[in-house]
Amino acid sequence: MSPSASDVTSGWGWQAVKVLTILVYIFMFAPILAVVILSFNDSMFGGFPMTGFSLRWYEKLMGNEAVLRAFRTSLWVALVTSVICTTLGIMAAMALVRYEFPGKQLVNTMVIAPALVPETVLGVGLLLLIRWAQEPRTLGLMVAGHIMLALPYVVLVVQARLIGIKRVYEEAALSLGANRFHTFREVTLPLLMPAIVASMLLVFTISFDNITASMFWRPSGVETMPTQILSMLKISISPEINALGTLMIVITVGVPLLGGALARMLARGAK
């Protein structure tokens, strides 16, 4: 009998699994790679073959007022959403983890619900509310909508971390005379920091990236980054879109990676 009978990592079957895994990873990343490569294409048309290396599409992008405006809109919406949503989420998670109260199960389900209801339905719903109240569509509506969409994720991330923080620290602070608010600020909050940073980043990307619901919510004439890309795609497939895509990839992958490193540093500091 071989020393590790549970070792399935040998034989033809395993080799096949390995090859399939590699193929699936190629499937997932090849299209994205193509976007990055084509953004440097000198050709007038979006597509292969490459005719030369050029940065002119990036240059053109920097002068594209509509894109810059959409970028600023998305940035602000995502920042505001991120701050408010994380605050709400922390409060809700505190209540759900640290207290027992009647109806907790129902509240839990309701907080998770926006992640389960189809986004199209949530999009239509909020639009109907605005129509019913006879209010105009504003960016405030979009922020409110994004907060709702991201809330379940914040609560889940903060909850997971909060369960891991022992109650005794808080109880010690309370018994030493700190009030609830001080205890939260001095004890719980620093320990929660990694989860808070993670949530803020998560909310930021959820809001910045949202298109399905934003198509319903955006005020007329206002474009967010994803809706701007969609309307550019409708006109033509120009290499400029690939350049825009590459920039967005750099931002949206770079920010969480940096944030992750930051969170790890904070976690180390908290220990």
Partner 1 sequence: MTAAEARRPWLLLAPTLLALLVLMVLPICIMLLFSFYEFVTGGVEREVLTTANWHEFFTDSYYHYFLWKTVRVAGITAVLCAVMGYPPAYFIAMTHFKHKWLLLLLLIVPFWISFTIRTFSWINILGEQGVINVVLLKLGIISEPLRMLYTEGAVIMGMIHFLLPYMILNVYVSLEGIDRNLISAARTLGCTNWQAFREVTLPLSLPGLMAGLLLCFVLAAGSYVTPEILGSGRDALFGNLIYDTIMGQLNWPMGATLSMVLLVLLGAVAAVYSRYMGLSRMFKGLSR
- Residue whose CB is less far from partner 1, 6 or 175: 6
47 dihedral zone (left: phi>0; alpha: psi -120 to 50; beta): left
Number of neighbours of residue 170 by Cβ within 10 angstroms = 19
- Residue whose CB is less far from partner 1, 60 or 130: 130
> DSSP code of 43?
S
- Residue whose CB is less far from partner 1, 169 or 184: 184
Amino acid letter, 230: L
Coil, strand, or helix at residue 107? helix
Coil, strand, or helix at residue 41? strand
Terminus-to-terminus CA distance in the chain, angstroms?
Answer: 45
CA dihedral 183, 110, 216, 225 (to 10 degrees): 40
- Residue whose CB is less far from partner 1, 60 or 95: 95
Q: In this structure, what token pair is assigned to residue 177? A: 């005379």
Q: How far is the CB of 1 from partner 1 (least distance, A)?
A: 7
Coil, strand, or helix at residue 53? strand
- Residue whose CB is less far from partner 1, 37 or 172: 37
Amino acid letter, 155: V
